[in-house]
Structure 1
Amino acid sequence: MIGGRVDSLPLNAAVTAALDPFGLQPRGWLMPGERSAPRLKNGTVSEAICLVGHGGGGFWPVFQTWHEMHPGTADPLDAWSKAVIEPIAALLGGEAVFPSDRPWHPFQQWAMAAEGLKPSPLGLLIHPEYGLWHGYRGAILFDDAGFTGEDAIANPATEAAASHPCDTCASRPCLSACPVEAFAPAGFAVSSCRDYLKLDEGQAGCMKSGCLAREACPVGRNYRYGAEQIRFHMAAYS
Structure 2
Amino acid sequence: MFGAWHPESDPDVPAGTQTMILLGPREPGFWTAFRASPEAQEARADPLDRWSRRVIGQWACDLGAKALFPFGGPPWRPFIRWARESGRAHVSPVGLLVHDTAGLMISYRGALALKQRLALPPPPPAPCAECSSQPCRIACPVSALSPEAYDVPLCKSFLDTPAGLDCHGRGCAVRRACPVSRSYGRAEAQSAFHMQSFHKRGQRGPE
Q: What TM-score, normalized by structure 1, do the two folds share?
A: 0.74
Report the aligned-residue RMSD.
2.2
Quote the residue 1:110 is aligned against: 82
Matched, 1:177 2:139: yes
Which residue identity is paired with 2:23?
V
Mapped contact 1:177–1:216 kept (Cα < 8 A): yes
User: Structure 1 regions of 5+ residues with no counterpart?
Assistant: 1-25
Residue by residue over 1:92-147, the C-alpha shift from the partner in whole angstroms, topping out at 9 and shown as x without a partner, is 101101001343222112111113421112332212333223321101112x31x4
- The letter of the residue matching 1:88 is W
Do the aligned residues in 2 keep the contact of 1:55 with 1:223 (CA within 8 Å)?
Answer: no
Q: Which amino acid is the alignment partner of residue 78 of structure 1?
A: D
Query: Which stretches of structure 1, 4 residues or more, deviate above 6 A after TM superposition?
Result: none
Q: Secondary structure at the match of 2:110?
A: strand
Q: Does 1:64 find its partner at 2:35?
A: yes
Contact 2:95 2:147 in 1 (8 A): no
Report whether the alignment pairs 1:126 with 2:98.
yes
Q: 1:121 to 1:67 in 2, by over 3 A?
A: farther
**Structure of higher CA gyration radius:** 1
Change (3 A) 1:133 1:185: closer
Partner of 2:66: 95
Task: With the length of structure 2 as denominator, give the TM-score of the two structures.
Answer: 0.84
Residue 235 (structure 1) aligned with residue 196 (structure 2): yes
Name the CA distance, whole Å, in 1 between partners of 2:139 and 2:93: 12
> What is the aligned partner in structure 2 of residue 29 from structure 1?
4
Identical columns (%): 37
Aligned-pair CA distance for 1:35:
4.9
1:29 partner amino acid: A
Query: Matched residues in 1 for 2:143 and 2:150: separation?
Result: 9
Q: CA distance change for structure 1 residues 206 and 30 in 2, over 3 Å: closer, same or farther?
A: same
Q: Is the 8 A contact 1:118 1:126 kept in 2?
A: yes
Give yes or no for contact 1:209–1:230 (8 Å, CA) kept in 2.
Answer: yes
Q: Does 2:51 match 1:80?
A: yes
Measure, in 2, the Cα distance between the counterparts of 1:166 and 1:96. 31
